[in-house]
Structure 1
């Protein structure tokens, strides 16, 4: 899967993530927003890819150190996005088997660090509510300017609600045309019931007919363009990613 650091800097998708980054920065004018949780209603909405790309986008900021954590202890995927091993990770640190420097991956010339889950525990929900987990996140706050946590979908398990209590804000990913509106509203209510601060929603997989936005599916996923597309097909293959107030 191609991340935005492998795309041209002028690519519309890169610009889209810059726009999301700017929105988050403006939400952080009081300097209290450091730990950001990303979740969705259900699986396969592109949540993990968006989390990874947001972290990459923030890592381009001057004098900012970013940590990306895979908080999905049930179905981790960040290691696959970056084509890395998940044989070690956060669980090793929480159990006291390894120190952080032995399990963390340094990406983007040291400006972006990735912490995978490691071996998945049999009781992920119980791990997240431990004092050790809370202390670990607090320790990371001291070492990083921004921390992005990829969590399980809030509409499926309670993990995202638990993790939101350790976070300063939540980005809610919604897959256009794939999620029932009532289901998405219910997922949002679950977050609001635990007083999670929802920063906004990222509308993913949105097909736009506006040529100023969107991009070719083939370009983003690394497929080669074999011929010039007709105007009709261009409309079909465009996609837009934006953030709006929840």
Structure 2
């Protein structure tokens, strides 16, 4: 797969790339390690991250996790699975294309939609044009076929999906991936909402491998992983 690398301004919040030796970057590497050791029977080559509520800092955490997996030498793909309010393109400006919706509606091929980033080994698949029927596209047979192809191409796949309390999109995708993670924003997400979010994942037969607790949405003052 060959893609032209584009020069872009440095994403100011991509701490794992900007300052890989920082304590925050080390926390992301710790989460990566926990994900890798969450199953002894099957490698967690594809993970889905959703949240109990919006404004949890989920997309930024997905992006930084993707960076540390790529820094490990794994060919990594970050997929913006939020076809309603896509965010990945704001973190990776090079992610401008038809994206996932273009693939699912047969407008572009996988190779045409995926973009290489300035981080070695890291690729992004943006959401693309916001469609009128996100759930139908994500729950389609075409989505299953696309996922199967991507699983053969990449060593690690990370799905950034919408909050599970708001729409069914994460529930539709969690059956595809090796493991799912629930992101909870401390002092923002209620225990009841977090419990309901976890129940929705379990109802969809998701393999829930843990939770990430984010203490601060923008500054990322702290976060930790719990299995």
- TM-score normalised by L of structure 2: 0.89
Report the Cα distance in structure 1 between the residues aligned to 2:84 and 2:131, rounded to whole angstroms: 8
Q: Is residue 2:138 matched to residue 1:156?
A: no
Q: How many residues align?
A: 216
- Where do 1:201-216 residues align within 5 Å? 201-205=211-215
1:27 deviation in Å? Answer: 1.5
Structure with higher Rg: it is 1
2:34 corresponds to: 23
Distance change in 2, residues 1:32/1:3 (3 Å)? same
2:153 corresponds to: 143
Per-residue CA deviations over 1:98-137 (Å, capped at 9, x if unaligned) read 1222221102455111000111110101111110001100
Secondary structure of 1:149's counterpart equals strand
Report the Cα distance in structure 2 between the residues aligned to 1:83 and 1:11, rounded to whole angstroms: 23
- TM-score normalised by L of structure 1: 0.83
1:59–1:108 Cα contact (<8 Å) kept: no
Q: CA RMSD in A?
A: 1.9
Secondary structure of 1:133's counterpart equals helix
Distance change in 2, residues 1:97/1:193 (3 Å)? same
Q: Which residue of the other structure, out of 172, 175, 186, is the alignment partner of 1:165?
A: 175
1:71 deviation in Å? Answer: 0.3
Q: Is residue 2:226 matched to residue 1:241?
A: no
Per-residue CA deviations over 1:181-232 (Å, capped at 9, x if unaligned) read 111101110111111111111110269xxxxxxxx94xx7xxxxxxxxxxxx
2:70–2:119 Cα contact (<8 Å) kept: no
1:39–1:154 Cα contact (<8 Å) kept: yes
Report the Cα distance in structure 1 between the residues aligned to 2:16 and 2:64, rounded to whole angstroms: 8
Report the Cα distance in structure 1 between the residues aligned to 2:67 and 2:118, rounded to whole angstroms: 8
1:60 corresponds to: 71
Q: Is residue 2:193 matched to residue 1:193?
A: no
- Where do 1:172-187 residues align within 5 Å? 172-187=182-197
Q: Which runs of 5+ in 2 are unaligned?
A: 1-11
Secondary structure of 1:39's counterpart equals strand
